[in-house]
Structure 1
Amino acid sequence: METLTKVAKIIEIENGSILSPQGFHTGGIHAGLRYAKKDVGMIFSEVPAESAAVYTLHDFQAAPIAVTKESISHSGKLQAVVVNSACANACTGEQGLKDAYEMRELAAHKVQVDEFLVAVASTGVIGEYMKMDKIKKGIEQIQLGNASTNAMDFQTAILTTDTCMKKCGFQAEIDGMIVHMGGAAKGSGMIHPNMATMLGFITTDANITSENLHAALKEVTNYTFNQITVDGDTSTNDMVLVMANGLAENQLLSPSHPEWEVFIQLLTKTCESLAKQIAKDGEGATKLVEVHVTGAYDEEDARKIAKQIVGSNLVKTAIYGADANWGRIIGAIGQADTKAKANKITISIGPVKMLDKSEIILFSEEEASEYLKADFIEIFVDLHMGEGSGTAWGCDLTYDYVKINASYRT
C-alpha cells in the first residue's frame, strides 16, 4: 500500500499479549473437551468495545460464525468472546446452532452482560456435537484476570495441533496518547485463507467506531492473514475478530483523522506478526518461507503470485529437501493467472540469484542448498513489468504433515 510508506513509530511490547491494551481480562480452563490441555477460553472487556470481524469464505460456515455475525450486527459492540477447542461445531445442523447460542448465553451470564455483546468461536474436529455439559461447567468455573498467566491460559486454550502459542503486542502514539494493541491466534493446518482453520483475536484500547474498524480490518487482512498458506485447505470456522474499547482516550479515529495511517500500521504490525507465527507453525513444518514479488503489473498480481509460490507443494517439498530447484518456482508463477511474462523474470533464493530476466545464471548449488537448510527462507521474484509488489508466507511440506493429519482424530 502506498500510504504505508509513511512509517509511524510502532513499538513492539516486550512479552506483548492479548492483555497489552487497557481494560481487558482473559482466562482459560481445562473443561474436559481435550484429554489434558486447556480447551475453553474467554476474553472480557471492562466496557463494551466497538468490534469488527472477517470470516472464512467457506461455503459451509460453522454455527459459531452465524452467532458471532448476529452479535456484532446488533450494535457493532462486543464485551466478551467465548472460545473452545477440540470441537469445531461445524456441519452439526440445528443442534449445532442451538449449542452455539447456548454458549453465548452461558458466557453472557458469566460476565453479566447482554447476550448480543458476546461472540462465539470454536475450532477442532468437524461433524461432532459439542459436549455442552463440559462447556457449561468450564464457562462457569473459568477465572478471568489481567495477569500474564491469564493471557497464557487463554492463548493455550484456543490451540489444536499448534505446537506453540501465537501472541504479540504493539503500541503507538496517537493524539499524544499511547494506544496499545494485542493479539492471540491459533492455526497450524488447514491454512489457506480467505481465511482458514485459523482464529485470530485482537484487542486494542483505541477509540474508533465499529464501521471504521471493520474497514481497517478488511483492508489489512488482504495483505496479512490472506497471504499465508500451509496446505491449501480452507476451514469452516476461521475468523479474525477485533475489539476496541476506547480506553486510550485518543480522538475518534476515522480515515479523515490526521493519524489514521498510524492506526493502520499498528493493526498491520499486529496482523502480520500473528500471520507469520501461524505460517511458521504449520503442521510438521521446519521452515518459515517468505516470498517477495516485485515488478508486477499491479499489487493484486503480485500478491497472487507470491501466494501461488508459497502454496505450491512442489516448491514446499523442494525447500524441505534443501533443493534449489528454481524451476518449481517459475512453474508456480505460471499457474497464478496473472499478466506475468515468462521472458522477464528474475528469481533469487536468499542471496543466490538463479535467473535474471529469464536468462539462466550459473550459481553454486552448494551455497543455495546450505541457505535452504536454515529455518527462515526468503524467495525473491522480480517480474520487470510494473510497480506492483506483494508478500506471502508459508512453510515447507514434510513427512510429519502426513503423520499428523493421518491421525488427527486419534
Structure 2
Amino acid sequence: MIVSENVIQKVNGHNIAAPKGFSAGGIHCGIKHKKLDLGLIVSDVQASAAAVYTTNQIQAAPLTVTKESISKEQLLQTVIVNSGNANACTGTQGMADAYEMRSLVSQKLGISDHLTAVASTGVIGEMLPMDTVRSGIQSIQADSTLKSSIDFSQSILTTDKVMKNTTYRFEVDGKEVTISGTAKGSGMIHPNMATMLGFVTTDASIEPEALHEALKNAVDRTFNCITVDGDTSTNDMVLILANGCAENSTLKPGHKDWGVFQEALRIVCEDLGKMIAKDGEGATKLIETKVTGTATDEDARKIAKTIVGSPLVKTAVFGCDANWGRVMAAVGYSGVPIDIGSLEIYIGPVCVVKEGMPVSFSEQDVIDYLKHHEILIEVKAGNLEGYGTAWGCDLTYDYVQINASYRT
C-alpha cells in the first residue's frame, strides 16, 4: 500500500515515552564505570507485544526469558534493560539472574512476572554483578519526560557514539496515534539481527498476532538489511509494545488504516536501522545500496546486502577508490540470478557499468563523490520488478582498534 507522506508526520523531540500511557527512565547502577547502564520502559496498562530475535544459535539468557514472557499471553507491561554485560554464555546462573531481574521488576511494579521482558547487551561470558543490578532495579524510576527517555536511550548504549531515536504520528479512525523507537548498535551488526537492541512503543490498539506480523515484515525490510561487519551476536532483539491508549478501533489486516500503521512501523525501523549503520564502529560514511530488476524483492535485498557487506567495497568507500569491480564481484557472488547484459552500476550519479560492461567515466568525479559522508550505490540487475535496499558503513582503521581492545 502506498501511503502519502503527509499522512505520517515526523515528530521533533524524539521520546520513547511519547505515545500515551508510556514512561521510561535510565540510571547508572554500577555495571559500567560511569555511564548509564540500566533502563526501564513501563506501560500504564498491559500492551500487545511482539519481538524478533537474533538468528545466532547461541542465545543469551535474557532472550529465553523474554520469549517465555511474550509466549504466555502475547502481552507485556514493562521492559528492563542493562548494558555493559550481555549475560550470554553464563549457564544456569545467568539464566537464574535473568529470571531474577524479571521477578524484581515485576514485584516493584506489582504485576505478574510474565508481563516483564528482559534485555542485556555488552561483554559476553561474564556474570552479572547482581548486587549492583538489584539495587539499581530498586532505585530506577520511569516517567514520560523527554529527559527520562533520553536517559533510557543512553542507558542501553555500548560502543555507540550517538543515541538512535525516532517518533512519528498518524491517525487511525480519526484518533491520533504515536509510534516511537529507540535502538542501540554499532558493532557485531549483520542482517538477521545482530548486536543490537530495538524498542518500539505505540499507543495504537492492535491485535497481538497482527502486531507480530507487522513487526516481522518491517524488520525484514529494515533491520535485516543493515550490516557493519558481518557478525551476528547472541543477544539481540527488536521488541514492540502497543498499549491501545489512543483508543482507536483495533487494528488488524482489513482495517482501512492497517496500511498506514504498517508503513509507520516500517519507517521507524528504517530510521533506526540507518542510524545503526551510520554509527558503525569506527565508521565515517553511511553506504546505501539500491537494487532493481530482480525476480523478487527478496533477491534484490540479498544483492544489496551482499554489496554493503563486502569488506572490499567497504574499504574502497573508506579510501575513496572508484573500484567498481568490487561492486560487480559482490553482485556476482550474491547467489542471485542476474541478466548480465542488462547490468548497470552507478556510484552516486556516475554510471560506471552499462550492459554488463565498463563505460568511460571521470575517475575524479567518483573520487570526489566518495568523499561525502553518505554514499549511494545503485545496481540494475535485470528488467524484472524486484526492488531492495540495504545499508552499511565503511570499514576503517578505527574499527580494528576499537575491537582489538573491546574488553580492555
Normalised by the length of structure 1, the TM-score is 0.98
Moved more, 351-360 or 274-283: 351-360
Match of 1:165 in 2: 163
Q: Does 1:202 align with 2:200?
A: yes
Kept after mapping to 1: 8 A contact 2:3/2:263: no
1:328 aligned partner, one-letter code: R
| Local SS of the residue matching 2:51 | strand
Q: Take 1:63 and 1:8, find their aligned partners in 2: how far apart are those partners?
A: 42
C-alpha RMSD of the superposition = 1.0
Q: Separation in 1 of the partners of 2:295 and 2:243?
A: 40
Q: 1:384 deviation in Å?
A: 2.1
Percent of pairs with identical residues: 55
- Inter-partner Cα distance in structure 2 for 1:178 and 1:376: 34
CA drift at 1:4? 3.9
Cross-structure match for 1:390:
388
Aligned match of 2:11: 13
Among 308, 312, 331, the alignment partner of 2:306 is 308
Q: Which amino acid aligns with 2:395?
A: L
Distance across 2 between alignment mates of 1:194 and 1:61 = 14
Deviation at residue 383 of structure 1 after TM alignment: 1.2
Distance 1:299 1:16 in 2: 31
Instruction: Please list every run of 5 or more consecutive structure 2 residues that lacks an aligned counterpart in the other structure.
Output: none
Deviation string, structure 1 residues 263-290 (Cα, Å, up to 9, x no partner): 0011011000000000000000000110
Residue 8 of structure 1: how far off its partner (Å) = 6.5
Amino acid at match of 2:157: L
How far apart in 1 are the matches of 2:193 and 2:78?
22
Match of 1:333 in 2: 331
Listed as ranges, the matches of 1:140-151 within 5 Å are: 140-151=138-149
In 2, the alpha carbon distance for the partners of 1:144 and 1:178 equals 23
Aligned position for 1:177: 175
Q: Secondary structure of 1:207's match?
A: coil
Q: Which one is further off, 325-334 or 380-389?
A: 380-389
Instruction: Give 1:2-401 correspondences, 5 Å limit.
Output: 3-4=1-2, 9-401=7-399
Q: CA deviation at 1:296?
A: 1.1
Give TM-score scaled by structure 2 length: 0.99
Alpha-carbon displacement from aligned partner over 1:98-145 (angstroms, at most 9, x marks no partner): 000000011112222111100000000111111100001111111211
For 1:343 and 1:96, how far apart are their aligned partners in 2? 55
- Tell me by how many angstroms 1:5 deviates: 6.2
Distance across 1 between alignment mates of 2:38 and 2:54: 21
Alpha-carbon distance in structure 1 between the residues aligned to 2:270 and 2:403? 26
Question: Would you say the 8 A contact 1:340–1:385 is kept in 2?
Answer: no
| SS, match of residue 123 in structure 1 | strand
CA distance in 2, matches of 1:233, 1:384: 30
**In 1, are the aligned partners of 2:301 and 2:390 still within 8 Å (CA)?**
yes
Q: Which amino acid aligns with 1:78?
A: L
Does residue 403 of structure 1 match 2:395? Answer: no
Aligned partner letter, 1:205: D
Runs of 4+ in 1 over 2 A off after TM superposition: 3-8, 341-344
Letter in 2 for 1:298: T
Q: Show CA shifts across 1:342-389 (max 9, x none).
A: 332100011111111213211111111011001000001011231100
Gaps of 5+ in 1: none
Deviates more, 1:377-386 or 1:274-283: 377-386
Separation in 2, partners of 1:166, 1:11: 18
The amino acid of 2:90's aligned partner reads: T
Other structure's SS at 1:195 match? coil
- How far apart are the structure 2 equivalents of 1:392 and 1:305? 9
Q: Quote the offset at 1:19 in angstroms.
A: 1.4
- 1:141-164 CA distances to partner (integer Å, 9 max, x unpaired)? 112111111001100000000001
What letter is aligned with 1:385?
A: N
What is the alpha-carbon distance in structure 2 between the residues aligned to residue 369 and residue 268 of structure 1? Answer: 33
Amino acid at match of 2:319: G
CA distance in 2 between counterparts of 1:343 and 1:94 reads: 57
Give secondary structure in 1 for the equivalent of 2:181.
Answer: strand
Shift of 1:192: 0.4
Residue-pair matches, total:
408
Secondary structure, aligned partner of 1:85? strand
Amino acid aligned to 1:243: L
**8 Å Cα contact 1:177/1:250 also seen in 2:** yes
CA distance in 1, matches of 2:158, 2:191: 17
Instruction: Name the CA shift for 1:57/1:390 in 2 (closer, same or farther; >3 Å).
Output: same
